[in-house]
């Protein structure tokens, strides 16, 4: 595949996952960030993107996208919602994680992820505070969550994901000398700016690269299965 302009890649592959879910991450209402956090928790497991999306839609349809509603639903109710979405493999573990996360968020930050962000001293402290909300929140989940908040939250500066890095290399946006994540992110930021795109929209480019990385991985998997 020949290199296309970053903006064209976004049009071709799609940008932020949050937008596809109908979430407005830049809205004043902090509940929009929490909706995306639930999605990131689901996408962060070793499960297909389609199952995670379907499960998130189950939560959305039932109005279960606030810490208060999740806590009120309880473990059995959450397992039922997860199973309805096809999230069967991790249903027990994820139900427990959601309850732990919401309890910690209510206790320590008044239920607001924006308050958590404002309390953090810098980008790394922000990541640590998110992980501290519950056992099982690792680098993958934190990266998914904060990637889409880049340009919206001042302290959302996660490392470039391996999927985005690999896709950027394959598509020619990066070269061998850019394989260090911080250098790679700076190079992608420059490519995005040269294309005439607003700095706050870099997450669109990054998410498009993640989508391309997942697409390439699926194609490779099918090739090996033949």
What is the arithmetic mean of pLDDT over 219-225? 64
* pLDDT score at 226: 45
Q: Which pLDDT does position 182 carry in this prediction?
A: 83
Q: What is the mean pLDDT of the chain?
A: 93
Which of 91, 28, 93, 21 shows the shortest CA–CA distance to 60? 21
Give the whole-angstrom CA distance, residue 41 versus residue 59: 12
Neighbours of 9 (CB within 10 A): 24
Q: Where would I find the H helices in 85-180?
A: 91-109, 113-119, 123-131, 139-147, 162-171
> What is the rounded distance in angstroms from the CA atom of residue 27 to the CA atom of residue 152?
10
pLDDT at 142: 98
Percentage of the residues of the chain whose pLDDT score is greater than 70:
96
Q: Are 177 and 191 in contact (CB under 8 A)?
A: no
pLDDT band with cut points at 50, 70 and 90 for residue 1: very low
Furthest-apart CA atoms within the chain: distance in Å:
52
- Helix (H/G/I), strand (E/B), else coil: 41: helix
| Domains along the chain with CATH numbers | 6-16+160-225 (no CATH), 18-147 (1.10.340.30)
Check: CB of residue 204 under 8 Å from CB of residue 10: yes
Indicate the pTM of the whole model. Answer: 0.93
Which region holds residue 63: left if phi is over 0, alpha if psi is between -120 and 50, else beta? Answer: left
87 in helix, strand or coil? coil
Which 3 state secondary structure label does DSSP give 59?
helix
């Amino acid at each position: 595949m020949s290199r296309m302009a970053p903006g064209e890649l976004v049009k071709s592959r799609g940008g932020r996952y949050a937008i596809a879910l109908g979430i407005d991450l830049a809205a004043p209402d902090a509940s929009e960030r929490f909706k995306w956090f639930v999605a990131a928790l689901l996408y962060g497991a070793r499960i297909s993107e389609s199952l995670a999306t379907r499960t998130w839609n189950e939560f959305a349809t039932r109005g279960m996208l606030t810490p208060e509603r999740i806590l009120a639903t309880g473990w059995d109710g959450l397992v039922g919602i997860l199973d309805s979405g096809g999230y069967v493999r991790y249903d027990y573990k994820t139900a427990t994680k959601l309850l732990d996360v919401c309890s910690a968020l209510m206790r320590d930050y008044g239920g607001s992820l924006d308050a958590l962000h404002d309390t953090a001293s810098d980008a790394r402290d922000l990541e640590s505070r998110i992980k501290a909300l519950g056992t099982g929140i690792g680098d993958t989940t934190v990266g998914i969550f904060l990637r889409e908040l880049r340009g919206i939250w001042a302290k959302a500066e996660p490392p470039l994901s391996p999927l985005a890095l690999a896709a950027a290399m394959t598509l020619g946006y990066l070269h061998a000398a850019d394989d260090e994540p911080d250098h790679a992110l700076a190079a992608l930021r420059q490519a995005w700016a040269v294309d005439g795109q607003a700095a706050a929209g870099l997450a669109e480019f990054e998410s498009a690269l993640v989508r391309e990385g997942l697409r390439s991985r699926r194609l490779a998997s099918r090739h090996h299965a033949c």
